[in-house]
Structure 1
Amino acid sequence: MKKMAIASMTAMLAAATVAAGCSTKEGETPKPSGGQSAQPSTSASPQSAARKPGDLPLTNEQAELRIATYDNLYTPKSYAQNLPVFQEIEKRTNVKIKWEVFPAAQAQTVIDTMFAAGSNLPDIVFGANDIAKLNEGGQIHDLKPFIEKFAPNIQKLYKEMPMVRALTTDPNGAILSIPIVALSEDFRPTYLIRQDWLDKVGKKVPTTIDELVDVLKAFRDNDPNGNGQKDEIPLAFPPGFMDFIASSFDTHPRGNFYPDANGRIEYVPITDKYKEYIKFLNMLYTEKLMDPSFATSTNDKFNAMISGSVTGVAIQYMGNLVPFETSSKGQWTGFVFPKGPSGKAYAERVAPISGGAVITKQSKNPQLAVEFIDYIMATEDGKRFANWGMEGTSYKNENGKLSFTDYMLNNKEIPDPLRALGGNWNLPRVQALDTAKILNGEKVSKLNDELKKIMVDAYPASQIPMTKEEKASLNEGWADMETYKSEMVTKFIMGKANFDKDWDTYVSKMKQLGIEGKIKIEQGKYERYSKIMKGN
């Protein structure tokens, strides 16, 4: 059952990885028109009298906040049922939550309709898609002045993790949303491999690309699954994971754009290093060492290859070690990205944010809304509620050492027991708990320690806020570029395009389609992002 628990919790954490008018209250400066927000009030109010920001309760007189978000995931327990975690949060903060929840699959439709109506908006909305558009329409607050005055714990988080601030600051310096922040290391992608297959073919865990190829050939040729058929697919990966192989080739294709050593943005898929990486994939494909259906693969197909014991090497999050063992009834271990032609490899630290909560201009108490988010997201209380749940139910505290109870480890009746209590909520939080390490222990911990040795920060090009003009210019013609690039990369991998004859033509065509103009836009975004990262 312990293995079932980690499978469930890995899924739930990954999923977390899925937001008119205005009023002026006494003591506030009237709000300007457009996307600007008024400065927060400095006058006395029920929550500010005789207390300072961060003190509990958040308000001396009980207040209510209306919160709209997509409902709880992986459990039938709804936020609207006043779950135990939020009952306790309400007691400590003296804030009553009025939930307005909707299914995750309908989130964008519901939120778009809500803001289009433009009246009777809740205080906090989590999950809005086009936050910049809401700001342009004057429907949400710039949270920066509120955070600076009333959110000491979020300010501390910004200092510890400047990337969080950089990725939520728009080109005009406004902070429009507060996200979920993932500090957990469960979701670091790497290579996972069948240890029992290695033992059967007499090979060791590879440390270089050449050793990896040698292992893949042994898996292809020696029937390690023992069914008497040559049906092994040595290497497979779910959609979106193939480009982690590039970690052995000094190239960063996952976001298309990446700064070189001199701070100049490159469009990675037309660089020489990327070409060498694609040549390697072509060799794997030609030698039948990788999934032949890579271009049309799905998560279901990938999972079937794991559970059906036809794949011996996979690229996935390291937290999947136990689920893989459960589904395949095999022995899995992990290894870091193998050294490539340069003798180096890297592991990319994924950008740590997802989702975002906005505070609407119709909120009667935006200060309290910010203080509430500061509490649930960035205080030690909030982190404990989000990651551990309820003391005595989901965890025990023995002299400051926390550990999960049987409710979490061996719960056969409640799907996703932590979420059933209200933890891992769909609101701003800091995901600080390494669930895989807790439930799987030494194997994942050792793998994570090895990954840390080669870790570099990702450059989150797609998550950097853009101006309206930048967004329009970047989107113009982008679909045609992306389609052409993807088609040509697939042709190169499958041998339908020739590297000597066709590569230069491919690069020239990308330039004709306007890729150099996109690089210029990305250069401006990078310089703005770098300035914030440096604290300017």
Structure 2
Amino acid sequence: MKKAAVLLLGGILAAGLMTGCGKSAENGKKAETEGRTTGAVTEEAGGEEAANLNMEGFPIVNEKITMTVYGCRDQNHAPWNEVLTLNKYEDLTNIHMDYQEVPADGFEENKQLLFASNELPDIFLKSDIKIDQIATYGVGSGQLMVLDDLIEKYAPNLSKIYEEYPQIKQAVTAADGHMYTIPAIDISATGSMGFKQWINKAWLDKLGKDIPTNLEEFKDVLIAFRDGDPNGNGQADEIPLGIREPDSIYPLAGSFGLQFQMKDTYNIDENGTVHNWLCDDAFKEYLIYLNDLYEEKLLWQDYYKNDRAAWRSNLAGEMYGAMYMPYSDVFVNCEEDYVGYKPLIGPNGDQMWTDATGSISMLGSFALSNTCSNPEAAVRWVDYFYGAEGEMFFRYGIEGETFDYDSNHVPHFKDEILNSPDGFMTALGKINLVPGGGFPCMITDNTDNVVASERTKEAAAILVDYMPEKVYAKPTVSMEDMDRLNAIEQDIINYKKEAVAKFVIGEWGFDKWAEYCATLEQIGIRELEGIYQKALDATK
């Protein structure tokens, strides 16, 4: 954006909010004109809007317009019509948004009812529109607008990202070859992965131990944590490995040659062949290793109960010797005692960190209904946040008002925000919609430290070179496959969670492995594999 826009942005004062339009006529039908469905400006439907629209710079429109916006409000957000950056941006763009935010608790049910009623907003923002919902409400009913032409013509920042990162564009392309959503993109090192691995360096130093490099050394360190009283309280209350819940047992899988492609239990080879490894011998070997840790009380004994409150309480008390977390904000009180380390070398020499995100933190972060009143202006509105200037503005706010640069040109929030008596995240939720994630924008190494501390960035930097060369997101599947996929996948998720936990805690012996694999085959694991293979092949 031009320097004049930057000067204007810094000088804008507070603003108000907006009231809007965007209702659809009949549930399950495409828009009446193909021009509206695809977002193309036509003489009949879009001429007036086009005349009011500026193709670059600010304001986006000459005469103020109003659009309705539906989305998920995090508990740390101020009401969206009171959020600083959104108000500043209204004055800059001349676009008034009528925000219809819904609390996170119950949001999915509310979203489904909204589509069922077909009383749709102009814009879906932070709405987490998932793969199956893209297929149902985009490809199927046409309630979501096709964005291909709009992005090409009105979103130069996003188009540039798609050109540089074609895998991101592939991930948001539906089975019919069209794009119905815009993702939240994180191309920072910290955002390229979910969990980072942490180990208590203070405990290692006290016990005279080095950071482990392989699985055997790791177990030896965990035994030292269990028996050596590293916290010095005279009690055997240390928890050597603090895995948080049943779904968090997978970070070590890379040491056994198991990827976590599509954010699930899949390997994809250089030829693009999809394979679910839940029945593989390598996974069995991994579970035997975890079972051994559990039996020796080296793994948190309550991990399978999914008790987040108890887990966080243990972390706050610095009870864990090693654990996995995306960011250090939840253990800031003892952050300095923990460091990141390289992936452990497995029994066959594998050393891989597989908890990769594919640079997309939310697939359906932004979308337009098929009756959006001003799709061209809406896409211009969101595209700003995918450029360097808009990224900094959304993440940090206004220089001198909410943040300052240090001598190295690194942004830092004002002390009154960092040390707010209401807590940092609540203070941040008055500035932007960062808390809870999922806002449609780009995050880079320049702005990830809003939530990523230097210690987190260091932990991520250690792991990034060990990630798979190519990371796949789950492709959208065809409508004819969607019902079958949902049925199989949900059954596999439920069975996997139960069975894997029973193997780890020893409730099932490994003599039941063949029965376990037969059950997965009966549920349809290979059929599911085939559905994803077909969908992935279609994206090529």
TM-score between both structures, scaled by the size of structure 1: 0.83
Deviations 1:50-107 (A, max 9, x none): 98633322122222222222335414x21123x3312321222222222222322243
Inter-partner Cα distance in structure 2 for 1:454 and 1:494: 29
Number of the residue aligned with 1:276: 285
Are 1:346 and 2:345 an aligned pair? no
Are 1:313 and 2:317 an aligned pair? no
Number of the residue aligned with 1:191: 197
Shift of 1:213: 0.9
Deviations 1:357-405 (A, max 9, x none): 2211222221111111212x21333211221112211122579924223
Q: Within 5 Å, which residues of 2 pair with 1:82-121?
A: 83-119=83-119, 121=120
Q: Identity over aligned residues, as a percent? A: 26
Inter-partner Cα distance in structure 2 for 1:186 and 1:329: 16
Q: Within 5 Å, which residues of 2 pair with 1:484-499?
A: 484-499=495-510
Number of the residue aligned with 1:451: 463
Task: Determine if contact 1:390/1:421 at 8 Å carries over to the other structure.
Answer: no
Shift of 1:46: 6.0
Inter-partner Cα distance in structure 2 for 1:235 and 1:70: 34
Shift of 1:111: 3.1
Deviates more, 1:517-526 or 1:210-219: 517-526
Deviations 1:456-490 (A, max 9, x none): 267555x4212222221223344444444333323
Number of the residue aligned with 2:304: 295
Deviates more, 1:391-400 or 1:377-386: 391-400
Deviations 1:102-156 (A, max 9, x none): 322243344333333334x321123145233223223221111211222111111
Are 1:171 and 2:171 an aligned pair? no
Number of the residue aligned with 2:58: 56
Number of the residue aligned with 1:146: 150
Inter-partner Cα distance in structure 2 for 1:72 and 1:497: 40
Shift of 1:176: 0.8
Would you say how many aligned residue pairs link Structure 1 and Structure 2? Answer: 496
Number of the residue aligned with 2:40: 39
Aligned partner of 1:475: which letter? N
Task: Determine if contact 2:197/2:459 at 8 Å carries over to the other structure.
Answer: no
Change over 3 Å in CA distance of 1:72–1:310 after alignment to 2: closer
Task: Determine if contact 2:314/2:320 at 8 Å carries over to the other structure.
Answer: yes
Change over 3 Å in CA distance of 1:427–1:347 after alignment to 2: same
Task: Determine if contact 2:417/2:428 at 8 Å carries over to the other structure.
Answer: yes
Number of the residue aligned with 1:124: 123
Number of the residue aligned with 2:404: 396
Shift of 1:232: 2.3
Inter-partner Cα distance in structure 1 for 2:222 and 2:410: 42
Inter-partner Cα distance in structure 2 for 1:358 and 1:329: 38
Number of the residue aligned with 1:229: 235
Aligned partner of 2:235: which letter? Q
Task: Determine if contact 1:58/1:94 at 8 Å carries over to the other structure.
Answer: yes
Are 1:431 and 2:477 an aligned pair? no
Number of the residue aligned with 2:382: 373
Inter-partner Cα distance in structure 2 for 1:161 and 1:436: 18
Inter-partner Cα distance in structure 2 for 1:207 and 1:71: 42
Number of the residue aligned with 1:510: 520
Inter-partner Cα distance in structure 1 for 2:491 and 2:459: 40
Aligned partner of 1:424: which letter? V
2:529 to 501, 504, 519: 519
Number of the residue aligned with 1:157: 161
Change over 3 Å in CA distance of 1:513–1:360 after alignment to 2: closer
Number of the residue aligned with 1:3: none
Change over 3 Å in CA distance of 1:73–1:186 after alignment to 2: farther
Inter-partner Cα distance in structure 2 for 1:477 and 1:442: 42
Inter-partner Cα distance in structure 1 for 2:314 and 2:396: 34
TM-score between both structures, scaled by the size of structure 2: 0.83
Partner SS, residue 347 of structure 1? coil
Change over 3 Å in CA distance of 1:223–1:413 after alignment to 2: closer
Aligned partner of 2:236: which letter? K
Number of the residue aligned with 1:12: none
Inter-partner Cα distance in structure 2 for 1:342 and 1:434: 38
Number of the residue aligned with 1:11: none
Task: Determine if contact 2:502/2:508 at 8 Å carries over to the other structure.
Answer: yes
Deviates more, 1:431-440 or 1:417-426: 431-440
Shift of 1:212: 0.8
Change over 3 Å in CA distance of 1:302–1:457 after alignment to 2: farther
Inter-partner Cα distance in structure 1 for 2:423 and 2:332: 23
Output the aligned Cα RMSD.
Answer: 3.1
Are 1:263 and 2:272 an aligned pair? yes
Shift of 1:325: 4.9
Inter-partner Cα distance in structure 2 for 1:108 and 1:485: 23
Task: Determine if contact 2:198/2:459 at 8 Å carries over to the other structure.
Answer: no
Inter-partner Cα distance in structure 2 for 1:155 and 1:421: 27
Partner SS, residue 266 of structure 1? strand
Task: Determine if contact 2:353/2:467 at 8 Å carries over to the other structure.
Answer: yes
**Unpaired runs of 5+ in structure 1?**
1-19, 24-28, 532-536
Partner SS, residue 168 of structure 2? helix
**Unpaired runs of 5+ in structure 2?**
1-22
Shift of 1:515: 2.1
Shift of 1:420: 0.7
Inter-partner Cα distance in structure 1 for 2:487 and 2:68: 38
Inter-partner Cα distance in structure 1 for 2:102 and 2:454: 39
Partner SS, residue 269 of structure 1? coil
Shift of 1:281: 0.9
Change over 3 Å in CA distance of 1:192–1:408 after alignment to 2: same
Task: Determine if contact 1:325/1:331 at 8 Å carries over to the other structure.
Answer: no
